[in-house]
């Protein structure tokens, strides 16, 4: 949370005017806001008429999708060749140690790598959203 | 295993669950408290709850058992279970939270504006949930039987009762605390004994040798074979037998078996001299080698096409995690989309950290509990190691701690699953009666798999875990990814995709379990359906959606804005 300020409670409602009203105005969400009033009102205006600035939504979506694709691409590039690589390890009978390599890679190294990719994704996804806040603010 | 300590530990775990659950009861008052903890759970607590819920007995006991039986290649399972969260993070986490829906069927309905899509999703959630609950309850029976000496069926029923009480009492709010506590318990239960085990082991024999050489008995070992087993010998075997081997009776007589396949009758006691190689279990006709019951469909047929099956495993676990209903429902408890992302990253750390430990138990199990490889009960490796390696009162106490952790593993996953199934049942199946009616749904949600687990205790239901992963990956993964990122998705397309993808995965694994025995590629393709059933689900969804282009929901633009714009009220009420 970058500079969260006092969280404001807002009513979270269900889906857009569909039949499921049984749980109506149900949960509350804390929405951390970064201080400035104009930004908040702009966002709410965009929300009152969500199609008002579809171009902004589109550009944010395509940037986020690109980021998601890059993240999974990184994952595939990192993990994908491993089964092939492990098959290429020398036979245990001739040169032992292959099992330890597999353990080190799959059992230990894989997890920090996944964590780093995840962290990297979150930083960039939040940056994308911050950037997208500006065109919305124009509305 | 010391049964007094074991029973005390299991009771303590159960009691703690109930106490924390009832503490939640005092807090939760409204409907939204019940379902999503009023969406005020902070990321760290929520991440602990997600991890606590996710790390089932398959992780706590099964991975070590698999490594003990089949070596380090089995470490693809925990990597897949963890990497699934990365895929979920990248494609689903924040938009799903912003969708403002309570459950997967809610998401389907609000995104597609179709009650039919909602109904199909409901059926799939309940189906996947029950499939996943069944092995949890059966595994609970097995573990509790081993730890406390209780009859097998009692264990499953006990877990079902505790879960029903905890869930019905406090809903998600109490479950959040319960799950977070259970993550801590599970981590402690593997971490503390691991320190003692490593000290007792001090690298003799080295891990490399233990993994690469065929396992052997280190001292005089007596093994009682519970069920008839076929063993394959690569060199002559000397042992003392009491029972029947190859149809011949032995009465504590010396036994000399030539290389080849032999049959050891149930109830036979075999005594092996030190240094004797552990006989290899022969899979026989079925795909199940009996190495470990937890992941058999995922490991079945590995011998035929190991490379394909490894990629099949990667596919199913990477994409299946996203589609598991009990995992997804937790994302609605985050305050907002940003918190949902942060939660997921913390989950990556917590789950990954936990998975560092099971391989160690697997390697030690291979060295110090090789008899389990013969009886096929390798899932017990984690439970018996402390007693064997540390011994004495310390060993008993550590064993009891591990038993409590295993108990937490069953309880947490089972309660998470029960909660999400009950949520869907109470909203979509039973008439609306408010909170009391959620409790009714909870009973139904757990009673069905509990009854089934008692009724079919002889069947290899552990196959259902892999089935649940494959079905989730081929149905909900396409729905979520396309629903969040593609404007062209229509209700008919989504329904067709859910039915085709989920249905074909279900059929394939059903055929593997119950159908006629198949060999070679047919068998491998059916046992590992995710590689083809996930693309099939995606393709069907896209093609049918394109064909029914005119039925793109009118609110798609608004839905996309709601899903992707940050920090805003989730529902467009206008």
The answer to the question of residue B572 being in a domain is no
Q: What are phi and psi of B302, to 5 degrees?
A: -60, -35
Is B175 a member of any domain?
Answer: yes
What digits encode the pLDDT tens for the residues B66-99?
888 877 878 888 999 999 999 999 999 999 888 8
Looking at the fold, whether B47 and B104 belong to one and the same domain comes out as: yes
CA distance A61 to chain B (A): 7
Based on the structure, what is the number of domains in chain B? 2
The pLDDT, as a whole number, for residue B363 is 87
Q: Which domain holds residue B254?
A: 216-277
**What was the pLDDT predicted at A52?**
53
User: Is residue B283 situated within a structural domain?
Assistant: no
How much is the average pLDDT of B420-437? 74
pLDDT over 50 at B158, yes or no: yes
Per the CB < 8 A criterion, the answer to whether B365 and B382 are in contact is: yes
C-alpha distance from B405 to closest chain A C-alpha (Å) = 21
d(CA B562, CA B571): 7
Q: Which pLDDT tens digit goes with each residue over B161-173?
A: 888 887 777 655 5
Measure the CA–CA gap between A104 and A12, rounded to whole angstroms: 46
Residue B394 sits in a domain whose CATH number is 1.20.1730.10
CB B157 within 8 A of CB B135: no
State both tokens at B317.
């676990």
Lowest mean pLDDT among B140-154, B319-333, B377-391: B140-154
State whether B297 and B317 are in the same domain. Answer: yes
**CB A72 to CB B79 under 8 A?**
no
Interface contact B456, partner A, CB < 8 A: no
The answer on B560 and B424 residing in a single domain is: yes
Count of CB atoms within 10 A of residue A117's CB? 22
Whole-number mean pLDDT of chain B?
80
| Same structural domain, B120 and B31 | yes
The CA distance from A103 to B357, in Å, is: 11
Q: Is B353 on the interface with A (CB under 8 A)?
A: yes
Please name which of B137, B53, B127, B534 lies closest in space to residue B313, comparing C-alpha atoms: B534
Q: Cβ separation of A50 and B558 shorter than 8 Å?
A: yes
Neighbours of B547 (CB within 10 A): 13
Burial class (CB in 10 A: 0-12, 13-18, 19+), A40: middle
Q: Are residues B523 and B386 in the same domain?
A: yes
- Report yes or no on B465 lying in a domain: yes
**Chain A within 8 Å of B303 (Cβ-Cβ)?**
no
Question: B430 CB near a chain A CB, below 8 Å?
Answer: no
A98: chain B residues, CB-CB within 8 Å? 212
Residue B224 shares a structural domain with residue B196: no
Cβ contact B73:A86 at 8 Å: yes
Please report the residues numbered 372 through 401 in chain B whose beta carbons come closer than 8 angstroms to any beta carbon of chain A.
Answer: none
pLDDT at B520: 72
Count of residues making up chain A: 139
Same-domain status, B325 and B392: yes
Residue B574 resides in a domain: no
Total CB pairs under 8 A between chain A and B: 232
Query: Which among A7, A57, A106 has the least Cβ separation from residue B72?
Result: A106
A-proximal residues of B, 432-451, CB under 8 Å:
432
Would you call A124 an interface residue with chain B, using a CB distance cutoff of 8 Å? no
Mutate to test the interface with A, among B104, B570, B574 (most CBs of A within 10 A): B570
Full 3-state SS string of B295-349 = CHHHHCCCCCCHHHHHHHHHHHHHHHHHHCHHHHHHHHHCCCHHHHHHHHHHHHH
Arithmetic mean of pLDDT, B179-201: 90
Indicate if B237 and B326 belong to the same structural domain.
Answer: no
Residue B573 belongs to some domain of the structure:
no
What is residue A120's predicted lDDT score, i.e. its pLDDT?
96
pLDDT over threshold 90, residue B341: yes
Q: What one-character DSSP code corresponds to residue B432?
A: P
Q: Which residues of A touch B427 (CB under 8 A)?
A: 22-23
B42/B157 same-domain check: yes
User: Residues B218-269: pLDDT tens digits?
Assistant: 777 888 887 777 887 877 888 888 888 888 888 888 888 888 788 888 888 8
Residue B211 resides in a domain: no
Q: Are residues B146 and B242 in the same domain?
A: no
Query: CA triplet B478, B130, B158: central angle to 5 degrees?
Result: 145
Residue B35 has pLDDT above 80, yes or no: no
Whether residue B560 and residue A126 make contact (CB cut-off 8 A), yes or no, is no
Q: What length does chain B have? A: 574
Residue A17 has pLDDT above 70, yes or no: no
* Confidence bin at A123 (pLDDT 50/70/90): very high
| Structural contact between residues B526 and B512, judged by C-beta atoms closer than 8 angstroms | yes
- B191 in the same domain as B131: yes
Residue B89 to residue A98, Cβ atoms within 8 A: no
For the stretch A29-76, pLDDT in tens is: 434 433 333 333 333 334 444 445 788 888 899 999 999 999 999 999
| Set of chain A residues whose Cβ sits within 8 Å of the Cβ of B215 | none
Grade residue B31 by pLDDT with cuts at 50, 70 and 90. Answer: low
Any idea which residue has 């963890």 for tokens? B82
In a domain, B398, yes or no: yes
CA–CA distances in Å: residue B249 to residues B227, B244, B263, B264: 16, 4, 12, 10
pLDDT of residue A48: 46
Distance (Å, whole) CA B425 – CA B421? 6
| Res B6 pLDDT > 90 | no
pLDDT at A20: 37
- Rounded mean pLDDT, A70-95: 84
Of B277, B301, B330, the residue at which a domain comes to its end is B277
ipTM for this model: 0.85
Is-contact A139 A52, C-beta < 8 A?
Answer: yes
- Would the pLDDT of B457 be above 80? no
Count of helices and strands (H, E) across chain A = 5, 2
pTM assigned to the model? 0.83
| Alpha-carbon distances, residue B189 vs A107, B279, B398 (angstroms) | 19, 31, 8
Are B374 and B468 members of one domain?
Answer: yes
| Residue B464: predicted pLDDT | 63
Q: Tell me if B352 sits within 8 A of A113, measured CB to CB.
A: no
Of B246, B277, B308, the residue at which a domain comes to its end is B277
In angstroms, the CA B446 to CA A139 distance is 51
Instruction: Find, in chain B, the residue whose alpha carbon is nearest to that of A136.
Output: B565
How close, in Å, is residue A24 to chain B by CA atoms?
Answer: 10
Whether A3 and chain B come into contact, CB under 8 Å, resolves to no
Measured between its terminal Cα atoms, the distance across chain A in Å is 25
| Residues of B with Cβ-Cβ distance to A128 under 8 angstroms | none
Q: Answer with the residue of higher pLDDT: B28 or B149.
A: B149
């Amino acid at each position: 949370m970058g500079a969260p300020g006092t969280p404001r409670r807002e009513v979270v409602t269900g889906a857009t005017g569909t039949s499921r009203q049984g749980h109506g105005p149900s949960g509350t969400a804390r929405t951390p806001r970064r201080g400035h009033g104009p930004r908040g009102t702009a966002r709410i205006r965009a929300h009152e008429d969500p199609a008002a600035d579809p171009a902004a939504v589109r550009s944010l979506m395509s940037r986020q999708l690109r980021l998601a694709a890059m993240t999974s691409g990184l994952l595939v590039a990192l993990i994908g060749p491993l089964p092939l690589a492990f098959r290429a390890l020398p036979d245990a009978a001739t040169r032992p140690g292959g099992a330890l390599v597999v353990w080190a890679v799959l059992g230990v190294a894989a997890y920090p790598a996944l964590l780093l990719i995840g962290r990297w994704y979150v930083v960039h996804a939040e940056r994308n959203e911050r950037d997208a806040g500006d065109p919305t603010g124009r509305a | 295993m010391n049964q007094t300590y074991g029973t005390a530990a299991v009771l303590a775990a159960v009691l703690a669950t109930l106490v924390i659950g009832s503490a939640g009861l005092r807090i939760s008052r409204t409907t939204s408290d019940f379902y999503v903890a009023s969406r005020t759970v902070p990321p760290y607590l929520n991440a602990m709850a997600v991890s606590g819920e996710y790390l089932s007995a398959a992780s706590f006991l099964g991975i070590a058992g698999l490594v003990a039986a089949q070596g380090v290649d089995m470490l693809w399972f925990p990597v897949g279970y963890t990497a699934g969260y990365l895929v979920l993070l990248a494609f689903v986490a924040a938009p799903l939270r912003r969708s403002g829906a309570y459950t997967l069927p809610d998401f389907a309905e609000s995104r597609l504006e179709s009650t039919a899509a909602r109904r199909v999703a409901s059926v799939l959630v309940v189906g996947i949930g029950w499939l996943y609950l069944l092995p949890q309850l059966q595994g609970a029976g097995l573990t509790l039987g081993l730890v406390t000496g209780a009859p097998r069926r009692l264990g499953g029923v006990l877990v079902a009762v505790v879960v029903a009480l905890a869930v019905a009492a406090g809903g998600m709010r109490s479950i959040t605390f319960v799950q977070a506590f259970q993550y801590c318990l599970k981590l402690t239960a593997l971490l503390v004994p691991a320190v003692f085990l490593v000290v007792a082991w001090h690298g003799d024999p080295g891990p490399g040798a233990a993994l690469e050489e065929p396992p052997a008995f280190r001292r005089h070992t007596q093994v009682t074979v519970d069920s008839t087993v076929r063993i394959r010998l690569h060199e002559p075997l000397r042992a003392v037998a009491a029972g029947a081997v190859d149809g011949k009776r032995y009465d504590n007589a010396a036994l000399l078996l030539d290389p080849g396949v032999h049959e050891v009758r149930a109830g036979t006691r075999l005594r092996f001299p030190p240094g004797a190689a552990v006989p290899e279990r022969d899979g026989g006709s079925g795909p199940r080698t009996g190495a470990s019951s937890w992941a058999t469909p995922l490991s079945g047929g590995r011998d035929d096409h190991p490379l394909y099956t490894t990629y099949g495993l990667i596919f199913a676990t990477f994409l299946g995690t996203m589609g598991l209903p009990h995992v997804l429902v937790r994302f609605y408890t985050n305050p907002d989309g940003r918190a949902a992302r942060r939660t997921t990253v913390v989950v990556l750390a917590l789950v990954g950290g936990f998975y560092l430990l099971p391989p160690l138990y697997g390697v030690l199990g291979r060295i110090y509990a090789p008899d389990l490889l013969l009886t096929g009960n390798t899932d017990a490796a984690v439970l018996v190691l402390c007693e064997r390696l540390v011994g004495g009162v310390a060993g008993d106490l550590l064993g009891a701690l591990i038993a409590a952790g295993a108990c937490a593993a069953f309880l947490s996953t089972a309660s998470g699953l029960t909660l999400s199934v009950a949520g869907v049942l109470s909203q979509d199946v039973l008439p609306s009666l408010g909170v009391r009616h959620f409790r009714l749904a909870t009973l139904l949600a757990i009673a069905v798999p509990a009854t089934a687990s008692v009724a079919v205790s002889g069947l290899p239901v552990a196959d259902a875990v892999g089935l649940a992963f494959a079905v989730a990956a081929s149905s909900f993964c396409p729905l979520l990814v396309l629903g969040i990122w593609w404007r062209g998705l229509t209700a008919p397309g989504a329904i067709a995709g859910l039915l085709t993808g989920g249905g074909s995965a279900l059929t394939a694994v059903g055929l593997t379990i119950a159908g006629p025995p198949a060999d070679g590629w047919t068998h491998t393709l059916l046992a590992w359906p995710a590689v083809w059933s996930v693309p099939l689900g995606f393709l069907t969804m896209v093609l049918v959606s394109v064909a029914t282009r005119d039925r793109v929901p009118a609110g798609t633009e608004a839905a996309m804005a709601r899903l992707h714009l940050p920090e805003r009220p989730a529902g467009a009420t206008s």
